[in-house]
Amino acid sequence: MSGMKYAMIGSGAMGYRYGVLLQETAGIHVDFIDAWDENVNKVREQGGVMVSRDHENRHLVPIRMYTPEDYDGNPDVWIVFMKQMQLADMLQRCKHLFKNHQIVFSAMNGWGHFEKLQQYFPDDRIYGGTALIATVLNGPGDVDFIGKAGVGTMNMCALNEQVSEVELAMRDDFKAAGLNPTITEDFKGTCMAKVVFNSVINTLCTMYQIQMGQFISYPGAMDMARQLINEAYDVCDRAGIRMVNTRQQELEAIDYVSRVACPLHYPSMYQDMSRGRETEVDYINGYIAKLGRDNDYVCRTHEFLTHGVHLAELAFKLHHQQ
């Protein structure tokens, strides 16, 4: 273990997953920061976060929880897991905490967070990544880890694509926590692979309000996935983005995660919609569509599905107002 201290910016489903595993499994010092008052208050009231795995063995894990205003710690590593729409405000609230020796890692969904992190950290201290790790936030101070212990994988890459000693130390800590990290050396290709993955699974499961296993059981699911993947890869080719997976590997990842790893999982985008929250579709399918427009390529399906999710959000709200 590295001896580094960590602090989570954003203590929702993934913030809890990473932070609790680093603390409980790897024995590393972790602080938790959140802007959702109900979450902060619940954790303080019950003395920690309630953690389940696959809806079972619900137990209290003591953690240190703060708001940005009452935190005065000095971690070595910030781990950022916020919703894209909330990140700019949260970083502004945390900026008095950032120091020159610190690094930041984020494996958030979508694209848009790195430009925001660059306003506060130089490129050589920013690390991005992706996480194929299913987690559900049941409510304030209550999280459910989906899948057996040690399931799931993650990629990590330096924004400047230079592997550093601190990245290797962070990789070892993530490995000790059971997060199965792999270091890559192609930043945008690594992070875009998850954007494309989410542009299929998150979007379609949200629009039709189904679990990942239910999606993949539809006979035409792989045809739908292939169409979205091909469109996204076509525009990435035009934009000069080297994808870390081939098209076929991306398709196989969608099949495996949906059919084998997380068939009972509702993706995070559906979790947001079902709780009346805004989804991140503009940063996923919407980002792919914008990348297309910027490179003289119209991503017709991604353009359509961006509207499709927003229409699903509206329909969900109208239905539940009745």
Tokens of 258: 């949906």
Q: Are residues 79 and 94 in the same domain?
A: yes
Residues 217, 176 share a domain? no
How many domains does the chain divide into?
Answer: 2
**Which of 153, 185, 217 is at the close of a domain?**
185
In CATH, what number is assigned to the domain containing residue 304?
1.10.1040.10
Q: Give a yes or no: residue 302 inside a domain.
A: yes
Q: In the numeric block, which tokens belong to residue 197? A: 């993955």
Neighbours of 211 (CB within 10 A): 17
Q: What is the pTM assigned to this prediction?
A: 0.94
Read off the pLDDT of residues 203-240 as tens digits, 9 standing for 90 and up: 999 999 999 999 999 999 999 999 999 999 999 999 99
Average pLDDT over the chain, rounded to an integer: 96
Of 57 and 147, the one with more pLDDT = 57
Q: Are residues 147 and 174 in the same domain?
A: yes
Both 28 and 78 in a single domain? Answer: yes
pLDDT at 1: 64
Do 52 and 104 sit in the same domain of this protein?
yes
Q: Does 111 share its domain with 91?
A: yes
Which CATH number does the domain housing residue 124 bear?
A: 3.40.50.720
pLDDT score of 249 more than 90: yes
Q: Is the pLDDT of residue 197 over 90?
A: yes
Chosen domain end from 139, 170, 185: 185
**115 is in which domain, residue-wise?**
6-185
Average pLDDT score over residue span 175-189: 96
24 and 149 assigned to the same domain: yes
Distance CA(216)–CA(209), nearest Å, equals 13
Q: How many CB atoms lie within 10 A of CB 170?
A: 24
The string of pLDDT tens digits covering residues 86-136 is 999 999 999 999 999 999 999 999 999 999 999 999 999 999 999 999 999
- Residue of higher predicted confidence among 27 and 152: 27
Residue 1 resides in a domain: no
Query: Is 308 inside any structural domain?
Result: yes
Q: What pLDDT, on the 0 to 100 scale, is given for residue 322? A: 67
User: Which pLDDT does position 151 carry in this prediction?
Assistant: 87
pLDDT digits (tens, 9 = 90+) for 132-151: 999 999 999 999 999 888 88
158 & 59 share domain:
yes
Phi, psi torsion values for 53, nearest 5 degrees: -130, 120
Residues 121 and 47 in one domain: yes
Average pLDDT over residues 186-192: 95
The pLDDT of residue 321: 81
